[in-house]
Amino acid sequence: MTQPDYSKMFGCPKCGTLGTIALIKVAGSKVIVRQRCPRHGVKGFKFPYVQLKLLIPYIQDGVYRCYKCGQEAILDQVKMNGPWTLVKCACTIHGNKLPWQKIWNSIYFMIPSKKLATPQPTEPEMAQTQPEQQEITLSEESKICPNCGTKMKGSEKFCEACGATPKEKIFCPNCGAPTEGTEKFCGECGGQI
């Protein structure tokens, strides 16, 4: 059996250009992708979740692209918002005036952190100076601060970003849905936690 040509799946059907991934999420046993070609607009497609690890290089390439021109871009800002990681890139042509991209948390943390910035605080009272850059490497058992959404190693008594006491809030490694940390299986997708 031959391998499918994944570059065609992630390329524009009209011109073949790899566009920016505007949204990627897990829905049951499928991964849903909305991608934008700078010349021909948005297209959506799905693929089986079991193929996700094979497609991480294509996803990484699509996340780090300018939404307007499709050229390679650098990561400018990252915010955690529930099961989503909101990503904003900056391009040498269009600067950082690009829209936010919505990446499912469990997928975002599978992408190699080639240009990863520190997640930005979402509440004004937490706007303290952050370290210039931080490389985040996580295990599936990592905790998330319920106050600011920062990923934690699991052994800290306080969040390093905002000082809050973390609760055992764990995201499902399969679909990214939040759990209370006591479940053995996700209530959203049924996957083992």
Instruction: Summarize pLDDT for 63-104 with one digit per residue, the tens.
Output: 999 989 999 999 889 999 889 999 999 999 999 889 999 999
Do 35 and 76 lie in a common domain?
A: yes
- E strand or H helix at 58, and its extent? helix 52-63
Same domain, 66 and 142: no
Cβ atoms of 47 and 9 within 8 Å: the answer is yes
Q: Are 78 and 20 in the same domain?
A: yes
Query: What residues make up the domain containing 168?
Result: 138-193
Q: Which portions of the chain are predicted below pLDDT 50?
A: 115-141
Q: Report the pLDDT value the prediction gives residue 156, as an integer from 0 to 100.
A: 72
The pair of three-digit structure tokens given for residue 180, joined into one six-digit string: 């209370």
pLDDT value at residue 160: 74
Residue 116 lies in a domain: no
Contact 49, 29 (CB under 8 A): yes
Does residue 46 lie in a domain region? yes
Q: Are residues 59 and 143 in the same domain?
A: no
Same-domain check for residues 102 and 173: no
Quick check: 9 and 45 in contact, CB under 8 A? Answer: yes
Predicted pLDDT at 184: 77
Say whether pTM exceeds 0.95.
no
Rg of the chain over Cα atoms, rounded to whole angstroms, equals: 17
Residue 14 identity (one-letter amino acid): K
Number of domain units in the chain: 2
